[in-house]
Amino acid sequence: MKKILAILAMISSIFSVAKGTTTISGGVGLNLNKDITVPYINLDTNHLVPVYNINEKTSLLVGGGGEFKMLIPQIDSQNQIQIFKFDLLPYFTTQLGYKVTQEIKLRFGANAGIGLGITHVKLLDETPSNKPKLVPIMPLNFVFGVDYKYFSVDLKAGGDIVISKSPEGAFDLGINLGYSF
C-alpha cells in the first residue's frame, strides 16, 4: 500500500509542475446495475496537459484525477437495513481536445483507474452495525467535455467493475459542472 501511495504522490507531483489545466467539478448521475438504479453525487478534480499538437486546433491531452462518489443511501425496509456506499476513484485520462474558438473547447476521451469502494450496512433496529466493507473498483468511462472560458461541463458514461472472485459491475451515467484554472 505504501508503494502505491508513493507512486501516486510522484505522479501527482509531475502533474502539479506540468503546464496544463486543472478542473474542480461536482455533479450528479445514475449508477445502474442488474438489481437497482441508484442516483449519486460526486466531486471530481483532474489535471490535463497538452502533450501533442495534431494541428492548429486539435491536441492530445493526457492527465489524471480523482473522483469521490457518494450513492444516495438506500433503505431496504423488508430486511430492515440502510446501505451507504462511497467510492474513491483515482484515474488516468487521455482526451482529444479541439479548439472551436479562443474561448470554446471540446474534449472527448476516456479515463480508467483503480480505486476503492466502501459499503456500510446499518441495521434500522439500532443494534451496532457491521464494519464497512472495502472492495477494489476499476472505473472505465468515456468523457465528452465542453469548456467555455473558465467553466467546464463533462458528460460521463461508463462503468465500475468490482474486482473480486466473482466480478460484478455497474453502468454509470452522469454530468459534472466545474471551474478550470
Please tell me the pTM assigned to this model. Answer: 0.83
Compute the half-sphere exposure of residue 174: CA atoms within 13 Å on the CB side of its CA. Answer: 29
Nearest residue to 51 via CA among 40, 59, 39, 43: 59
Beta-sheet pairing, 37-53 with 133-148: unpaired
CA dihedral for 36, 144, 45, 5, sign (positive or negative): positive
pLDDT at 112: 97
pLDDT at 118: 92
pLDDT 10s digit of each residue in the chain, 181 long? Answer: 566 666 656 656 655 556 889 999 999 999 998 878 899 999 999 999 999 999 999 999 999 999 999 999 888 777 778 888 999 999 999 999 999 999 999 999 999 999 999 988 887 776 666 788 899 999 999 999 999 999 999 999 999 998 887 778 889 999 999 999 8
- Domains of the chain by start residue, with CATH: 2-180 (2.40.160.20)
